[in-house]
Amino acid sequence: MQRATAPYFLILPSFVLAAAIILWPLKEIVSLSLHDVNRFGMLRDFVGLEHFRVLFADPDFIAATWRTLIWTVCVVLGTLIVSVPIALILNEDFYGRGIARILIMLPWAISLSMTAVVWRWALNGESGMLNSALRDLGLINSNIQWLAEASTAFPMQILIGILVSMPFTVTIFLGGLSSVPDDLYEAAATEGAGRWDQFRLITLPLLRPFINIAFVLNTIYVFNSFPIIWVTTQGGPANSTHILVTYLYELGFRLGRLGDAAAVSLIMFVILLVFTLIYVRLAMREEKA
Amino acid sequence: MMNSKLKRSILFWLFLSPIVVVILFPYAVMTITSFKSATEVLNPTWWPEELHWQNFSEMWQTSGIASALANSLYVSALSTLLTIAVSIPAAYALSRYQFAGRNAYRQFLLVSQMLSPIVLVIGLFRLVANVGMIDNLNVLVIIYTGFNIAFCVWMLQSYFSTIPRDLEEAAWMEGANRWRTLRSVFLPLAVPAMVVTAIFTFINAWNEFVIALTMLRKEENYTLPIRVLSLVAGRYTVDWHYVMAAAFVASVPVAILFAWLQRYLVRGLSIGAVK
């Protein structure tokens, strides 16, 4: 094997496989979104942007888009706000730190669909243990039907979203904190800087690139997140908890509107591409710095 | 006077305790429910009167979880092997060669990491349906492999970059060729990284949901997440104690594996982020 061609041979199998799994379906989606399709996926006439026009006239799609925005913003910001202090604590030396790390990482270890199934049971209106726990604590008097209404179901879904996004985010921050040299703090302490000043003037600026990266990656993951909402409410009741991914699934596999579903996929693809470009720019700035 | 580490520990645990309680709550519910009798489940007390171990054996016989376990093992093991087999050479190339297109390839991997299966599921379904391969577990193997390559190459490359080049260069000096050096110097040093990456790939495949939900129609082909969901969704009466026992069996082994390995993930991700 010659030196010049060797690396290409080495990357070829992985490239072919990954490209086939990504580019080929993408081509299918583009052609579905531009044709009239029956529910078995047979292509009929070319209709141009008709599916997109249908979507933008569909109040459920518009509502799902807004809800996706609320979902993504609440989960991502909530995760970041909770994760920074947790990472700061887990980076310190204290008794039981190993156990604390494992407990905080636990939601990452258990599949999202299992966590969601368990929550669906815990939130059960009649026999769910959240109601009984809250009653025992004297916080509520009568059972709440958590999943029967969007006004209680959606905030709970956001809470679950925050809990399962936290481990990954804390992990990124721990990686960032481990690169902060200790003597910086010692120097600051001899200059008379208090704990808060140390955090504000040293930790936060050094953590900023990691916060940026966690922000963008979480935005992408949360935007794409399907199991929590699908397993707990399947977008219901009456389409009131759909986000784009669950609405896409409902359109494609429940209602048989494959063309419309493909159009939603493409819209999501474009949004994700924008997020990715932001991420690449941030990551490259990091590499230069 | 209390020593300062003890004081700090108490303070930190006080701060962490609310979040730990919320994290543990669903898993405590899962564990407790899986040991309750059918009558106690509907009457939500915290502690069961007695531990109903027979829930597990009854669930095992009625829920079809044994075949789901076998399917999940088959799909996860095979796709892990395939992913690792194609990712090792790619990661080696990225960490040891400078070549035109190296950055383009890294960015391609990054983009493929960003696209979750759900965005492509309509297209994947149509492709698979067109060749009549719905309900074929090997299709899942191929799709999982495609989606895991980016993560795997990324992790392996970040570990490979920490293996010092000097060792390989020393072997070349002694007249060993590239292949020989690879086999007797590089690969033995890279084994731990490969094992860790393989296990994370396995866990990803084990937990995958949306592709399995879409591609598997016959009950005997279900993987674990789909099997457990099928015990809940679209039923008038749900035997929650069996469902929770099934969720327990499906998640605890993997959770233990993960807890044991999470520090390697912290290291791999942070090296990957810097290099």
pLDDT tens-digit profile of A53-112? 999 999 999 999 999 999 999 999 999 999 999 999 998 888 888 889 889 988 888 889
Answer positive or negative: Cα dihedral of A11, A12, A17, A21. Answer: positive
The number of domains in chain B is 1
- Whether B107 is covered by a domain: the verdict is yes
Cis peptide leading into residue B164 (ω within 30°): no
- Whether B16 is covered by a domain: the verdict is no
Assigned superfamily of A59-288: MetI-like (1.10.3720.10)
Model confidence band, residue A152 (pLDDT cutoffs 50, 70, 90) = very high
- Tell me the C-alpha to C-alpha distance, in Å, between residue B71 and each of B68, B79, B145, B254: 5, 12, 16, 15
Chain A nearest C-alpha distance from B65 (Å): 14
- Whether B174 is covered by a domain: the verdict is yes
Query: Which are the contacts of B122, defined by CB distance < 8 A and separation ≥ 6?
Result: A25, A28, A29, A32, A248, A252, A258, A261, A262, A265
Tell me the H-state helices in chain A: 6-33, 50-56, 59-91, 97-109, 112-122, 129-136, 150-177, 182-190, 195-198, 204-223, 227-232, 244-249, 258-288
With CB atoms and an 8 Å threshold, state whether A118 touches B26: yes
- Whether B130 is covered by a domain: the verdict is yes
Strand, helix or coil at A36?
strand
Which residues of chain A lie closer than 8 angstroms to B115, CB-CB?
Answer: 22, 269, 272
With CB atoms and an 8 Å threshold, state whether B129 touches A41: yes
Q: Quick one: pLDDT at residue B274? A: 41
Structure tokens at A272: 């994700």
Average pLDDT, chain B: 86
Look-up of token digits 């990504």: A22
Q: Which of B23, B207, B244 sits opposite A103 (nearest CB)?
A: B23
Q: Quick one: pLDDT at residue A213? A: 81
**A162, amino acid identity:** I
For A237-284, the pLDDT digits (tens) are 888 999 999 999 999 999 989 999 999 999 999 998 888 888 778 777
Of B71, B81, B44, residue with least CA distance to B206: B71
Minimal Cα distance from A266: which residue of B? B119
For A8-58, the pLDDT digits (tens) are 999 999 999 999 999 899 999 999 999 988 877 777 888 888 999 999 999
Q: Judged by CB atoms within 8 Å, which residues 190-229 of B form the interface with A?
A: 203, 206-207, 209-210, 214, 225, 228-229
With 50 as the cut, is the pLDDT of residue B275 above it?
A: no
Q: Quick one: pLDDT at residue B271? A: 53
Do you know the residue count of chain B? 275
Look-up of token digits 């916080």: A139
With CB atoms and an 8 Å threshold, state whether A32 touches B228: no
| Residue ranges making up the domain that contains B90 | 74-239
Task: Please state, in angstroms and rounded to a whole number, the distance separating the CA atoms of residues A68 and A164.
Answer: 17
With CB atoms and an 8 Å threshold, state whether B262 touches A102: yes
User: Could you tell me if A112 and A227 are in contact, meaning their C-beta atoms sit under 8 angstroms apart?
Assistant: yes
Q: Quick one: pLDDT at residue A28? A: 92
User: Could you tell me if A89 and B16 are in contact, meaning their C-beta atoms sit under 8 angstroms apart?
Assistant: yes
Structure tokens at A100: 């604390």
Domain boundaries, chain A: 59-288
User: Could you tell me if A76 and A219 are in contact, meaning their C-beta atoms sit under 8 angstroms apart?
Assistant: yes
Q: Which of A127, A129, A275 sits opposite B114 (nearest CB)?
A: A275
Task: Please state, in angstroms and rounded to a whole number, the distance separating the CA atoms of residues B159 and B154.
Answer: 9
Q: Which of B32, B123, B244 sits opposite A26 (nearest CB)?
A: B123
- Whether B235 is covered by a domain: the verdict is yes
A137 has a chain B CB within 8 A of its CB: no
- Tell me the C-alpha to C-alpha distance, in Å, between residue A271 and each of A54, A70, A100, A184, B148: 19, 15, 36, 40, 22
- CATH number of the structural domain spanning residue B192: 1.10.3720.10
Answer positive or negative: Cα dihedral of B126, B127, B131, B136. Answer: negative
A91 has a chain B CB within 8 A of its CB: no
Task: Please state, in angstroms and rounded to a whole number, the distance separating the CA atoms of residues A208 and B244.
Answer: 41
